[in-house]
Structure 1
Amino acid sequence: MNAGLEIALESLRDGYVQVSAFVAVTVLAFAFVQYRTNGALVAKIEKHERLQPLFGALMGLTPGCGGAIVMMPLYVRGTVSFGTVVATLAATAGDSAFVIIALAPEAALYAYGLAFVAAVGFGYLVDTTGMGVSRIDAAVARFSPATTDGGTTVRKTVGPNPGHEYPGGAPTHAHETGPDRHSTVLTPLSHVAHVAWWIAAAAGLVIGVVFLLRGGPEVALTVGPTFDGAFTVVGIVGTLLSLFLYVVGRHYIGEGSIGRARESFASGYEALLHAAMETSFVTVWVIGAYLIYEYGLVMTGIDIAATAAAAGALAPIAGAAVGVIPGCGPQIVLAGVYAEGGLPFSALVANAISQDGDALFPLLAIDKKAAVVATVYNVIPAVVVGLLTYAVWGPVLGMPEFGFGVL
């Protein structure tokens, strides 16, 4: 098979099984809680502003990126502060958490514990000092029209969002009204695709869990009645269904728009539609990141793992730098190198704080400048805590830098 085509198919497959299936579960759980409580959860989050960074960090701490992805639309609609976004992304464990938890559980406990503390502290610092309120958001607004409903203080100083003001009323595909297109072919076809998507998501979740329990082995690109064959078929079919729902289906069923938090849902099926559409949206961005990353490695020949491992005393900075790369692919590579004894614990800690996983993609799609600022902010605690860990972990505490907690 042509090498370029093989990379493309593997990216389509891996993105869905390793990321989307897990994201779907988290987004659906949040949507279902919203449906059962009639929007009470979001209302409580909005009401308790002082607890928002703490809640965001807890959501980010859940293995995978689903919890953090759920938080991004809440910032877009003005429900949570910018400091909450920073705390969420700083605590995001990403898919690399599954690797570390499986191969080095004790290291995972300490690394993600430190990331959580740093995330909460820095999130409150951002909100307290106004770095996300008057300085960053105002500066962003001067360069381009605002694309968020707030993300600073909720209900107090944030005015209407120009992006939501339309002469003559809301657009046809407004979030509140849903899609306006009806077709004797595409409408029922979109519903069928939606049901098929959830079947693929359920199968992908089972296959993804088995894949992680096996330690994330290499999976052959093949078709047949084997684990590798099921992995390949479910992954590619799931991605194709996601592309259909994102490009076509959302205009005929669901809500029409994407990347928006919902107050509540009229039915369980509506919650399912929302979760499928949001996850499909994330899938498109994830696949794009996978392709850029994989083709970039082929074209440049850079060995991220070897570069990070050779950093020596600068390993924490290297770990933080790898974390800046969007997506979970580079982080999974780094986690594997750590489990093999090729990286010091301080680099793992720095990477755990700086990485945003796939949670950054929804924010990048809707508010690019806020996403960039949040990413830059997260590098600061990542480097500081990473270097402190490097200075204290071994020399002072006498803990092993390499291989700590590896089974």
Structure 2
Amino acid sequence: MLEPFVSAVPVLKKLEEAGFEAYFVGGAVRDFLLKNPINDVDIATSATPNEVKKTFPKTVDIGIDHGTILVLFQNKSYEITTFRTESEYQDFRRPKGVSFVRSLNEDLQRRDFTMNAIAMDRFGKLIDPFNGQFAIQERMIRTVGQATERFQEDALRMMRAVRFVSQLGFELERETVKALDHLVPLLAHIAIERKRAEFEKLLKGKNRKQALNLLIETGLFSYLPGLSNHKEHLEELKNYDFDTLSKDEMWTLLIFCLNLEEKSIEGFLRNWRLPLKEIRNIQRILLFLFKRLKQEWTVYDLYLAGSDTIKSVETLFQVLKGNKEFESIFRWVNLYKQLPIKERSDMKVTGNDLLAWFDSKGGPWLHEMLTKIEQAILEGKAVNDNNKIKEWLMECNQK
């Protein structure tokens, strides 16, 4: 057994010593079997939330109504959830209520896919009532029980299924695909934030092209913000070799393929409920990408863009051109690194200097003059020194 399981074994042992069952469950067990990196573990137990709180002195109620307690133990934190069953679902997303049970099998039975319905005890023994290991060996995504029932309970599971195709490179079992095809309209009931979370994980997966195919073939894309009338544009997106792109670069490439008007781009991203900081970054990449498609970088554009944006733009430029050589990225980034200034605050002159030198009041001219100096320094026409900048300005005024 490997970390982080090893560090968490004492947690399971303490629950067992208190008279309860406790197991590692969910994605951590799946990733362990796949030999994938594991960030944290989820623990399921027969102990009720109150019994968990009595077993551990330091706890936080983070989801007690659904049976989840955060346990602080040996300088680490663990989410521990009571075995439970769920009542009838409402809004095709949430159960009306949960019931705590003492049976591990009943708890595993409520989970989405067989590969996620495997438990492991503290000795590494697997409990796998739904043949999840076989599904992993087959690299197959198969629901626990009837796919139609699982998707009707929680329509977001359809997006999760396609997201797992992207992340794991698995295939969807035939009956699961049939159910998805039939129940796609239920995705309209799911909150945009939850759809975005799954979509962004899909965009970052190593098999994102395969997942994108499924989005198109099943019609899932029609229930994602701003994509319902863009099947052809999504087909175009598939033609690019985008396996190395980051999340924001994928959003940028998607918008490029959608051929949205500039005034519509921010609205499209806001409809996805993206954070404003990410929206601004994507808009920034797009701005310089369109410039780059028209001409090579100017010194001033390199300065305005900055290192991270240059890398993203140049990577996207090469993808759009179908190039596999990315030396130009290092070339332009190195040129940026050689610039005499990286931002306006690096200039050895301020607005107050200009007001004193020209004995004038503030106004639009001040910003224009600072921009003129900025460009002159970048182009090598002026040296970034207070006295030399003053001399250069005076010479310019005499011409």
TM-score, with normalisation over the residues of structure 1?
A: 0.22
Higher helix share: 1
Higher strand share: 2
Whose Rg is larger? Answer: 2
TM-score, with normalisation over the residues of structure 2?
A: 0.22
